Structures are given as structure tokens and as C-alpha cells.
Amino acid sequence: MGVVQEKSVITVELPQNPYDVVIAPGGLDHLGAWILDHGKQRKLGKKMLLVSNPSVFDLYGQRAIASLEQAGFDVAYHLIPDGEPHKTLASVEGIYDAAYAHRMERSSAIVALGGGIIGDMSGFAAATWLRGIQFIQVPTSLLAMVDASIGGKTGVNHPLGKNLIGAFHQPRLVLIDPQMLDTLPVREFRAGMAEVIKYGVIWDADLFEQLDATADLSEYAAVPVSLLQTILLRSCQAKAIVVSKDEKEAGLRAILNYGHTIGHAIESITGYTAVTHGEAVAMGMVAAGEIAVQLGMWSKALSDRQTALIRKAGLPAHSPAGLDHDQLVTLLQADKKVEDGKVRFILPTGIGTVEIVNEVSADVVRHVLRQIEA
Ligand code: GLY
């Protein structure tokens, strides 16, 4: 077993299902032992189904399985091809087939080894197989580490929209091994950095300042190891606190959607392929910042600081060329976060503070879209 130099544990304090997020470089080799150590209040059987995609499995699958077997688990694995087009009910049926073949029981668990897509699908399969079995998140992308793996949102896409089918199902344990970021494609690293910047703006002014004071945030190799540990810790702490206070997104949790209102619309218009989720969120944060400036809630100076940070992370601060503004405004009305027909924006009021604003006129949105055009 490899040596772990630093192990941080954050607890997501949910009354029914509290669970730990463990951040530890080299932690992958301790996966099996830590599954046993954490979440002891839930009875766990021996059967485990590891779900991954071929590229992640090639890199880390055997180490994960070895660690699980060393801890006494009986492990089968199931691979799903990489990418958003595979985030479907049909792929989840493949997980069910593997669970059936492995004779999984109520006390069995699914281990998700991969990015947000693998985590969301595995979690949904775990939420529904035998009316709910346990699952463990081992996120391998920065975005999944700081956002998707924590909080229990699971699901798949419907042909008419992203993540329209899903369930809240909290994991037993989230294990984050930052060393796995070493093999993450640079564009994916940047996508995750968009969510990290998000936490700085909506929740953690000190994190924002630390990011601001760093010369280069655009790739794994450029970020000092100690800062990376801080980034993961502070981001996961922010997410854990928000989820603990509002598990089912009745109020506060909506602030995690900062940058996502316009971001989702851009992703949808560009077909979920041209722009990564993180890039769309980056553009959405720039737009939200400028909307807040228009509404007198935020200063132009702070909005410019946010834009500079986004650029420093190698992320786009302009909307894609040729974006159809009418289509975007129409799409905003169809977003699943619309309530009573009102588009909800999360808008900054400082560094580390935001407000949920339900009425932003289409005129202001159009004005800002013109402003941030490439
Ligand atoms: N990614 C937003 C949330 O988990 O609520």
C-alpha cells in the first residue's frame, strides 16, 4: 500500500445519511480499507460492483480492484464508454445487468470510478437497484472531485434535456485522490477550475484571494501541490456545508448554480460537445457578474477581477461566436430551475456572497450577451 502524506476528512452533516469526503494523495490504494472505516452506521456486504469507463479503468481500475479485494470485497466491474451521449437509461440498464449477474444484495455497493458522468449514472443505478443500495464515489476529474461527487445528485439525460431523470441518493464515502489529476486532460482540469472559482465567488472570499494570488491556474502541473490540496479542501467544504443545510435544493443549494443559468443554455445550444460544462459555467459566471453590475449589485471592478481569474485558469470569458441570443433567452425559460415561469439567476453581491434573484428582464440579459460576445 502506498504512503499517504496528508489525509483530510470533511463530513457532510446530513441527519439521515452523514458521510465523509476523504482527500488524500495516494488514497486510491486505501479505498477498500477506508470504505470499511467510514460510514460504519450502514451495514455493508461483501459484493461490490465497480463502474468506470475504459480510459479511466486502464489507468486506475486494477489498483482500485486490488485495494477492494485486499479489504475482503468480492468485486465485479462494468465499463461504459466515455462521454455525454452515453449518459442514458440504456447505460444504466447495463449497470443493472452487471448487478444482477454479480448477485448484488441490498447491502452491496456500487463504486463509481470516473468523472461526473460515471458518478451520476452509478449513483442513479444504486438509488434504484433493489430500491436502493449503497454507493461510493471515487471521482477522477477535478469537476467531479469538487462538485458532482458530493451532494447526492444522480441521474441521466433524457433525449429532450440534460439530467431530467434522476434521484437524490447520497454516497457512503467520497474518496478524492488528487494524484489522479496528473492524467486528466488539460481541458478537463480547466473545466473543474471553473467550479473552484465559483466557490470563491459564492462562498469563500479567502479561496478567491488565494486563487487571485496564484500566477497560473491553467493546468495541474502549474498549481503547487499545497495549493491544490487547499483548493480541494475549501471547495469540498463549501459544497458539504451548503448540501448539509439544504440537501434537496429547497433554497440555499441553488447558489451552487451560479453561472449555470446561462451556462446550461450555452451548453444546450452548442450541442453539449463544442463547449465543456466548465467552459459554459465560466461564460455563465462572466454573464452573471455583468448582470449584477447592470442591476447595481456588484462593482465593475469585482466583475473584472472575476473575468481575469477565469482567463488565468485558461477558461473562456466570452460567449461562443455566432451564439443566437433569441434562442438563448427562449431556452432560459425552459430550464428546469425556472419557477412560476421566472428565470432564476444567482448574482454576486461581493466576493463570497450571492443573492438569488428571480426577476431579471430579458433586456438586461440581451444587453449583457452583446457585451460578452466573442
Ligand atoms: N452541482 C450543483 C449541486 O450539486 O447542487
Closest residue by CA, ligand 1 atom 3:
256
Cα distance between residue 47 and residue 92, in whole Å: 18
Higher pLDDT, 358 or 341: 358
Q: What is the mean pLDDT of residues 344-358?
A: 96
Q: What is the CA radius of gyration of the chain?
A: 20
Any atom of ligand 1 within 6 Å of the Cβ of 238: no
Q: In testing the pocket of ligand 1, which one of 256, 267, 277, 281 has its CB within 8 Å of the most ligand atoms?
A: 256
State the average pLDDT over residues 271-296: 94
Question: Does the CB atom of residue 253 touch ligand 1 within 6 A?
Answer: yes
Whether 259 is in the pocket of ligand 1, judged by its Cβ within 6 Å, is no
In one-letter notation, the amino acid at residue 107 is S
Catalytic residues: 131, 153, 195, 239, 249, 253, 257, 260, 264, 277
Residue 256 Cβ < 6 Å to ligand 1: yes
pLDDT tens per residue, range 175-203? 999 999 999 999 999 999 999 999 999 99
State which ligand 1 atom lies nearest to the alpha carbon of 253: 5
Provide the angle, in degrees to the nearest 10, between the axes of the packed helices 205-212 and 225-245.
Answer: 160
CA of 25 to the centre of ligand 1 (A): 24
CB atoms within 10 A of CB 348: 25
Band of residue 1 on the pLDDT scale cut at 50, 70, 90: low
Answer yes or no: is pLDDT of 35 > 90.
yes
Phi (first) and psi of residue 51, to 5 degrees: -115, 130
pTM above 0.85, yes or no: yes
- Contact predicate 244/253, CB 8 Å: no
Q: Which residues pair with 354 in a beta bridge?
A: 348
> What pLDDT, on the 0 to 100 scale, is given for residue 335?
66
SS3 content of the chain, % helix, strand, coil (to 5): 50, 15, 30
Does any ligand 1 atom lie closer than 6 A to the CB of residue 192?
no
* pLDDT band (50, 70, 90) for residue 273: confident
Q: DSSP assignment, residue 4?
A: P
- Tell which atom from ligand 1 comes closest to the C-alpha of 195: 1
For residue 237, report the phi and psi dihedrals to the nearest 5 degrees: -65, -45
Least confident of 30-39, 73-82, 280-289, 342-351: 342-351
What CA–CA distance (Å, rounded) separates 30 from 51? 18
Q: Is pLDDT of 337 > 80? A: no
Is 153 close to ligand 1, i.e. is its CB under 6 Å away?
Answer: yes
Q: Residue whose CA is closest, atom 4 of ligand 1?
A: 151
Virtual CA dihedral for 237, 242, 243, 245, nearest 10 degrees? 120
Q: What residues are paired with 55 via a beta bridge?
A: none
How far from 55 is each of 186, 187, 221, CA to CA, in Å? Answer: 15, 16, 21
Residue range 72-90, pLDDT digits in tens: 999 999 999 999 899 999 9
